[in-house]
Amino acid sequence: MKSNNRFVLNIIKINLTIFILISIFPIGKFGLKYLENDFLKQVPISNIKNIVVLAGSEDLVSTLLTEKLNLNENSERLISSIYLANEFENSKIFYVGGNGHIIKNNLSELTVAKEFYRNINFNLERVMFIGNTRNTIENLREIKKLNFSNENTILITSAFHMKRSLMIAKKLKLKLFPYAVDFRSVSNQSFINSYQRFSISSNLGSFDLFIREIIGIIAFKILM
């Protein structure tokens, strides 16, 4: 019995130590930097015909409760789609999403996105909304069905999510040019100066984001 108690106590100590390290040191930020570094400099793009936007900018719960458009920290995906559509006037936006929750409500990511485009008076005839998908793999499988052939197609998603998205696209033999937004690890501050804005919640949030993305990459490699 004592050996069992000692084992449990050691496990608690190890977990507590890991938690403290993650809270104090920006381990998650370093992890996000690994995911984002390849996309810091934008590859030159021209003659874009298709703009694929992965959903994730929408705050479904707040939109449902307030009956007003609510976006989250990923809203650069939507904003950048407008910027690129204006840059390439003959292009079309393909907005892909759905509702990944097991218990679903009456609102989907596409409903909120459509409200966004409508609110800024963007021509909805230039937007195709592709729904009923639950994750990135299903999103890109739907894009694959559109058979874009050799037309220039750009992919908009958060920088930390781009690496996994391109891995999936490559597996599906889908040629996409990355347009990463919503960078989370970019900073020109020194390590010491960064602690002037020290935040346990920020460190934990960054680590959570990094770990979820790594789990997504592992799941992709197992499933595909």
What's at 43, amino acid-wise? Answer: V
Full-model pTM: 0.85
Amino acid 219: pLDDT: 87
Lowest pLDDT segment from 94-98, 165-169, 178-182, 187-191: 187-191
Residue entry with tokens 């996000």:
32
CATH class of 47-183: alpha beta
For residues 4 and 161, which has the higher predicted lDDT (pLDDT)?
161
Q: Any idea what DSSP says for residue 71?
A: B
What's at 81, amino acid-wise? Answer: S
Report the sign of the C-alpha dihedral through residues 125, 130, 135, 141, in that order.
negative
Amino acid 87: pLDDT: 94
Contact yes or no for 157/109 (Cβ under 8 A): no
Closest CA to 216 of 168, 157, 180, 173: 168
Q: Any idea what DSSP says for residue 73?
A: T
Residues 25-42: pLDDT tens digits?
A: 888 888 999 999 999 999
- Answer yes or no: is pLDDT of 106 > 70: no
C-alpha torsion angle, residues 85, 88, 90, 93 (rounded to 10)? -30
Closest CA to 173 of 151, 141, 133: 141
| Domain residue spans of the chain | 47-183, 193-224
Residues 77-91: pLDDT tens digits?
A: 999 999 999 999 999
Rounded mean pLDDT of the chain? 85
Q: How confident is the model at residue 196 (pLDDT cuts 50, 70, 90)?
A: low
Residues 46-78: pLDDT tens digits?
A: 889 999 999 988 888 888 888 888 888 889 999
Tokens, residue 81 = 């789609």
> For residues 124 and 121, what is the distance between their CA atoms, to the nearest angstrom?
8
Residues 114-165: pLDDT tens digits?
A: 999 999 999 999 999 998 888 899 999 999 999 887 679 999 999 999 999 9
> For residues 82 and 89, what is the distance between their CA atoms, to the nearest angstrom?
10
Report the sign of the C-alpha dihedral through residues 86, 62, 135, 186, in that order.
positive
Q: Any idea what DSSP says for residue 181?
A: E
For residues 101 and 155, which has the higher predicted lDDT (pLDDT)?
155
What are the angstrom distances between the C-alpha of 32 and each of 44, 106, 167? Answer: 23, 33, 17
Amino acid 170: pLDDT: 93
